[in-house]
Amino acid sequence: MGRVSSSESNVDVHRQLAAFSNYLKRKGLKITNQRLLVAEKIFSLQSHFTVDTLAEELKERRNEISRATIYRIVTVMVEAGLLTEHNFGQNARYFEYIPRQEHHDHIICNDCGRIDEFVHDGIEQIQLQIAEQHGYDLSEHSLNLYGSCQELRKKGTCSRRVVRENRV
């Protein structure tokens, strides 16, 4: 249930990389191999990630980059407005590439950690009203729904769990 038809083409990735390069140039920052590799991985991922998962994936493709550097690059990309940071749990910092300013909120599965996305115009508007009523100038918001997806209920198992008699 991500974006319309996923399969980000290479053309898109290249365009996004070019945009990132332009940003770097404009800011007087250097276009390094590490920055391009990390950005490319993020653009082609098309989903949420942590610095840790990113580091693992890069390592598998023989493009190992130190976590310190990845943290620094991700920070630059957040400043560039290319990445958004999420607070899904207390001990994980998730980032997500959001093409063309497409906003959305998330539903996270308590069983398997799966993350789905949604947008609801009604909710978006109500939020603006609420902020106004409380005297706030709304700049952003974070709406996360937590629950269990169908997988565990239907199959009896999912990537993380098995249905047991005594659910905790």
Judged on CB neighbours under 10 Å (0-12, 13-18, 19+), 34 is middle
- Judged by CB, which is closer to DNA: 28, or 135? 28
Buried b (16+ CB within 10 A) or exposed e, 15-31: ebbeebeebbeeeeeee
Tell whether residue 155 is a contact of a copy of itself (CB under 8 A).
Answer: no
Tell whether residue 130 is a contact of a copy of itself (CB under 8 A).
Answer: yes
Please give the DSSP secondary-structure letter assigned to residue 85: E
Stretch of 23-31, 35-43, 62-70, 104-112 contacting a copy of itself, by CB under 8 A? 104-112
Stretch of 22-30, 35-43, 52-60, 88-96 contacting a copy of itself, by CB under 8 A? 88-96
Q: Which does 28 bind (CB under 5 to 8 A by kind): a copy of itself, DNA, none?
A: DNA
Tell whether residue 147 is a contact of a copy of itself (CB under 8 A).
Answer: yes
Tell whether residue 47 is a contact of a copy of itself (CB under 8 A).
Answer: no
Closest CA to 45 of 73, 6, 71, 92: 6
Residues making contact with DNA (CB under 7 A): 24-25, 28-35, 50-52, 64-69, 71-73, 75, 90-93
Residues 35 and 18: their CA atoms lie apart, in Å, by 12
Closest CA to 97 of 152, 64, 54, 134: 54
Q: What is the amino acid identity at position 9? A: S
Q: Which does 15 bind (CB under 5 to 8 A by kind): DNA, a copy of itself, none?
A: none
Residues 32 and 41: their CA atoms lie apart, in Å, by 14
Residue ranges in contact with a copy of itself by CB under 8 A: 1, 85, 87-90, 93, 107, 109-110, 116, 118, 120, 122-123, 126-127, 130-131, 133-150, 153
